[in-house]
Amino acid sequence: MTTSTPSDGVTPRYPDSRDILEKLRFLPDEGQIWLGEQRMLLMQLQTMAAFRHEIIHTLGLKRAKSFFLRLGYHSGLKDAELARAVRGQEMSVEDGFLTGPQLHSLRGLVKVIPLALEIDPGRGHFYGEFEWQDSYEVAIIEQLESALDEPVCWMQLGYACAYSSQFLGQEIQYREVECRGRGDARCRIIGKPAHEWEDHATFAEHFREDPLIDELYELQSRIAYLEDDIARHKGDEHYRPIGQSPAFLGALDLIDRAARSEVPILLLGETGSGKEIMAHRAHQQSDRAEGPFVAVNCAAIPPDLIESELFGVEKGAYTGAVQSRAGRFERAHGGTLFLDELAELSPRAQAALLRALQEKQIERVGGQQSYAIDVRIVAATHGDLMERVQDGRFRADLFYRLNAYPVMIPPLRERRDDIRLLAEHFLARFECHYHVKTLGFSDQAMAMLRVHPWPGNIRELQNLIERGVILAGDGNSINEQALFGQQPLPARGQVLGPGGQLTSALDETGGEATTRLAALCQSILDGGISLDALEEALLEQAYREAGSNVSAAARRLGMSRAALDYRLKKRGML
């Protein structure tokens, strides 16, 4: 074992830890602690000791070691993200790098003394040497286990490997060359690019030795790939209903009960709530499952073309009809016809549809011949169809025929328990589609997904997650910014003061903001701008910058969507 010391003899020094401490938020009233976007736990050393003891006895020493190396590894990946976010732009690479050891100390795991640190990203050179004082893993050993004949600071070592590799973008490995846990005078680690260690391949095995985790990940991604593959052949994956909430299961149950009958089903629900998926479910659960499923979005077809789309056209029926072709009804023969946005049908199309349903036969536009059709109708609307019937825009006789079995599809905000499930589903799908493997959602991103009002329902969720996967990319967490395009840290809560005691976040960070605000107010007063004009300008700008998205604008203004909606409408801006 060789020991190198820094050539210039200067010990690296930590940058001021204040910027990191400010990322630590205690929300005692809500039972939460946050570090950046990650929710943290404050747990007893004794608990960790009992856990480690049990893992060693369950898995054996060798696998337990790998297990804890990986546990630390995961933590290191997350901290490297935080380090780059907080300090990546503003500090030298060495100072930014020292965030990791600082975070390790902040967490109370160990006191890290940097002995040597050489980073040259251009040449891919790295050499790091650190002493660990008061390692919690040594403390655990002293309590529970008899002395081992090898180093014991596993989790910390895994952390160092992951943190350095992720931070520097090249594989770095560490060895604990001395450890108090095996009777040495101190704990000391050395880190170098993996290929500079002779046994680097063997060591890397620790991070994938336990077949369970990697194999599960591997299987998961293979399943997602296969599902996608199968879906391409069968077109089914997009139609798989997903959810466990009572509201969703209730609707699904109603669909399944009606599926085998021939009764027309009318699906009611907001845009994007998954009505087509439910229509397809009715088709699949019916005796017509082997037949075709044909979907028509009535709102997407120009009114003067809807009849020829639905019923087909005979050659020469009108200029341009140079060839006869079948309509959607004929193509759905023996299967199910899904009429989405039913309320948008023109009066003529309504009349033709009613005739087709009554006589079970259709005539193509411009044709003489009747075609018998055997089609099960599932219709859907997001508007209030009854209202349209009352003011004469929708035929009552057609409405009552189609409204035989109405099913209400709940909006996403009424099935919040399904959000995680749906989010994971779309995540797997888009990871497979874009060939990336993210670290999943940050805790805060998931929390925001759960509270978002979802005016666009599942379609909106799907779009956000696609965006999140693209923005996060390989090996990163999908954070709130990637999903919603902004990154507000909760302004409430408490932070650690310089002395380590809890103080109000506003007291700590509000000083500068207060000064800025005062300056802004002064210039507004000097400019003779009225409060009313100021409010209007502020609302207008927030609304415009949010791309006319009221929810997003409301988040920026720190107000509820309803409150902003009210103000915009009051001013005639919406």
Contact 554, 560 (CB under 8 A): yes
Rule CB under 5 A: which of 200-239 touch Zn ion?
none
Strands 336-340 and 293-297: parallel
Name residue, tokens 């990637």: 482
Contact 88, 98 (CB under 8 A): no
How far is Cα 105 from Cα 108, in angstroms, rounded to an integer? 5
CB of 204 to Zn ion, least distance (A): 21
CB of 150 to Zn ion, least distance (A): 10
DSSP character string of 489-547 = PPSSSEEE-TTS-EEEHHHHHHHHHHHHHHHHHHHHHHTT--HHHHHHHHHHHHHHHTT
Q: Which residue, 144 or 300, is less far from Zn ion as judged by CB?
A: 144
Rule CB under 5 A: which of 110-169 touch Zn ion?
135, 153
Q: Which residue, 48 or 408, is less far from Zn ion as judged by CB?
A: 48
Applying CB under 5 A, among 82, 103, 141, 179 the residue interacting with Zn ion is: 179
Residues 158-186 as b/e (b if ≥16 CB within 10 A, e otherwise) read: bbbbbbbbbbbeeebbbbbebbbbbeeee
CB of 126 to Zn ion, least distance (A): 21
Binding segment for Zn ion (CB under 5 A), chosen from 92-100, 174-182, 347-355, 479-487, is: 174-182
What does the per-residue mask of binding to Zn ion show for 35-54, with x meaning CB under 5 A?
Answer: --------------------
Residues 6 or more apart whose Cβ sits within 8 Å of residue 403: 266, 385
Binding segment for Zn ion (CB under 5 A), chosen from 184-192, 216-224, 236-244, 313-321, is: 184-192
Q: Which residues make beta-bridge pairs with 378?
A: 265, 338
Q: Which residue, 135 or 442, is less far from Zn ion as judged by CB?
A: 135
CB of 154 to Zn ion, least distance (A): 9
Q: Which residue, 85 or 177, is less far from Zn ion as judged by CB?
A: 177
Q: Which residue, 186 or 393, is less far from Zn ion as judged by CB?
A: 186
Residues 6 or more apart whose Cβ sits within 8 Å of residue 413: 453, 454
CB of 156 to Zn ion, least distance (A): 7
Residues making up the chain, counted from first to last: 574
Q: Which residue, 66 or 135, is less far from Zn ion as judged by CB?
A: 135
CB of 142 to Zn ion, least distance (A): 11
Contact 118, 172 (CB under 8 A): no
Q: Which residue, 135 or 477, is less far from Zn ion as judged by CB?
A: 135
How many residues touch Zn ion (CB under 5 A)? Answer: 5
CB of 197 to Zn ion, least distance (A): 18
Q: Which residue, 139 or 439, is less far from Zn ion as judged by CB?
A: 139
The maximal CA–CA distance of the chain, rounded, in angstroms, is 100
Binding segment for Zn ion (CB under 5 A), chosen from 179-187, 266-274, 342-350, 560-568, is: 179-187
Beta-carbon count within 10 A of 13 CB:
9
How far is Cα 510 from Cα 472, in angstroms, rounded to an integer? 31
CB of 138 to Zn ion, least distance (A): 5
Q: Which residue, 141 or 277, is less far from Zn ion as judged by CB?
A: 141
Type of residue found at 79: D
Binding segment for Zn ion (CB under 5 A), chosen from 71-79, 185-193, 506-514, 554-562, is: 185-193
CB of 157 to Zn ion, least distance (A): 8
CB of 145 to Zn ion, least distance (A): 13
Strand stretches in 393-441, DSSP E: 405-408
CB of 181 to Zn ion, least distance (A): 5
CB of 3 to Zn ion, least distance (A): 16
Q: Which residue, 153 or 267, is less far from Zn ion as judged by CB?
A: 153
Q: Which residue, 153 or 552, is less far from Zn ion as judged by CB?
A: 153
Any contact of residue 189 with Zn ion (CB under 5 A)?
no
Q: Which residue, 153 or 542, is less far from Zn ion as judged by CB?
A: 153
Q: What is the DSSP letter of 365?
A: B
Whole-Å CA distances, 150 to 138, 146, 182, 430 = 12, 12, 6, 44
How far is Cα 59 from Cα 67, in angstroms, rounded to an integer? 9
Rule CB under 5 A: which of 492-551 touch Zn ion?
none
Q: Which residue, 135 or 457, is less far from Zn ion as judged by CB?
A: 135
Any contact of residue 469 with Zn ion (CB under 5 A)?
no
DSSP character string of 162-217 = HHHHHHHTS-EEEEEEE-GGGT-SSEEEEEEEGGGSTTHHHHHGGGT-SHHHHHHH
Token pair for residue 535?
């409010």
CB of 110 to Zn ion, least distance (A): 9
Closest-CA residue to 486 (of 526, 441, 545, 428): 545
Any contact of residue 187 with Zn ion (CB under 5 A)?
yes
Residues 6 or more apart whose Cβ sits within 8 Å of residue 236: 230, 284
Question: Judging by beta carbons within 10 Å of its beta carbon (0-12, 13-18, 19+), is residue 29 exposed, middle or buried?
Answer: exposed
Q: Which residue, 175 or 275, is less far from Zn ion as judged by CB?
A: 175
CB of 186 to Zn ion, least distance (A): 8
Closest-CA residue to 324 (of 310, 307, 308, 336): 308
Binding segment for Zn ion (CB under 5 A), chosen from 111-119, 180-188, 338-346, 406-414, is: 180-188
**Interface with Zn ion by CB under 5 A: which residues?**
135, 153, 179, 181, 187
